[in-house]
Amino acid sequence: MAELKYRRILLKLGGEALAGEGGFGINPRRAEEVAQKVIRVLNMGVQVAIVIGGGNLWRGKEDGLDHGMERVTADHMGMLATVMNALALQDALERHGIPTRVMTGIEVRAVAEPYIQRRAVRHLEKGRVVIFGAGTGNPYFTTDTAASLRAMEIDAEVLIKATKVDAVYDSDPKLNANARRFERLTYIDALNMRVGVMDSTAMAMCMDNDLPICVVDLWQEGSLEQVVAGEAVGTLISA
C-alpha cells in the first residue's frame, strides 16, 4: 500500500458535484462518479469525512435574499438542500456496500443522525464514510465554513476542497489566459488575495487552527489519491 500523507481527510464538495444539466438538480450518475472517487481514497486506508454544499439546489443569498426573502429562512432552505445532496451521495456509496452515515447540523432525525462530534469520530474509526449535511446548522454561514469547522472537530489532517478548477489562480483562467497558477499559498496571501475558492470565514478558521487546505480538480483522474499520497497536485494553502 502506498505511503499516506493524510490518514483522515475532510473532503469539501460543492453541490454542483452532483448536479445535472446546467448545474442544477441531482443527477444520480454524477453521484455515482463521485462515489467511485471516494471509494478509491477509502481503499487506500484513509478515513473519509465529507461536507457537501447545496448550490445545485438552493443558495440562500442569491436564490432567496436577493429576491426579497428573509435571510434566515433562505439559509435554512439552503441547509436542507445540502441534506438532499448528502442522502444522494450516501445512496451512491451504499450501493457499493460502503457503510456511510449522514449526520446533520439541523436535526432531521427521520432521515439522518444529528451531528455529535464523538459519534462522528467513532464512525470514522470504524471505517464508515461520514457525510455532514445541513452545514454548520446556522444561517449566515457557508458549507466551506462548515467544512473547516467539522475538519477541526474531527481532527482531520487536511481539508480537500475539490471543485472543477484544478488550482488557485490570481484571476479566472477561463477569462484570462495569463492567469497565474499557484502550487502553494500561505493563508494570509490567500486571504489578502480574496481567492474565490473559499470564503474568508472558512479560510481564517483554517489559518487560526493551522489546518492545511488542498484545492484540487475533483474530475481530474487520481487527484484525490494524489493528495493523500502527498504528491504535488492543485494548490496547497498552509502557514
Q: Which is nearer to ligand UDP, 32 or 63 (CB)?
A: 63
Phi, psi values for residue 231, rounded to 5°? -80, 155
Residue entry with cell 427521520:
110
Q: C-alpha 93: how far from its chain's center?
A: 16
Q: Which CA distances in Å does 40 have to 52, 90, 107, 126?
A: 18, 15, 30, 17
Least distance CB 235 / ligand UDP (angstroms) = 18
Least distance CB 15 / ligand UDP (angstroms) = 3
Q: Which is nearer to ligand UDP, 71 or 126 (CB)?
A: 71
Flag whether 137 is marked binding: yes
Least distance CB 63 / ligand UDP (angstroms) = 8
Flag whether 59 is marked binding: yes
Flag whether 178 is marked binding: no
174, 188 Cβ separation under 8 angstroms: no
Least distance CB 53 / ligand UDP (angstroms) = 2
Q: How far is 215 from 212, CA to CA, in rounded Å?
A: 10
Q: Which is nearer to ligand UDP, 44 or 153 (CB)?
A: 153
Flag whether 187 is marked binding: no
Neighbours of 66 (CB within 10 A): 11
The β-bridge relationship of strands 168-169 and 181-182 is antiparallel
Task: By CB under 6 A, name the binding residues for ligand UDP.
Answer: 14-16, 53-55, 59-61, 74-75, 78-79, 81-82, 135-136, 138-139, 141-143, 145-146
Flag whether 15 is marked binding: yes
Point out the residue whose Cβ comes nearest to ligand UDP: 53
State the angle between helix axes of 200-208 and 143-153 in degrees (0 to 180), rounded to the nearest 10. 20
Where does 3-109 show beta strands of DSSP type E?
8-13, 47-52, 100-104
Least distance CB 91 / ligand UDP (angstroms) = 18
Least distance CB 3 / ligand UDP (angstroms) = 31
Flag whether 104 is marked binding: no
Q: How far is 54 from 214, CA to CA, in rounded Å?
A: 21
Q: Which is nearer to ligand UDP, 103 or 146 (CB)?
A: 146
The β-bridge relationship of strands 235-238 and 181-182 is unpaired
Flag whether 163 is marked binding: yes
Binding site membership: which residues? 12-15, 54-55, 59, 75, 136-143, 163, 169, 172
Binding site membership for UMP: which residues? 54, 75, 136-143
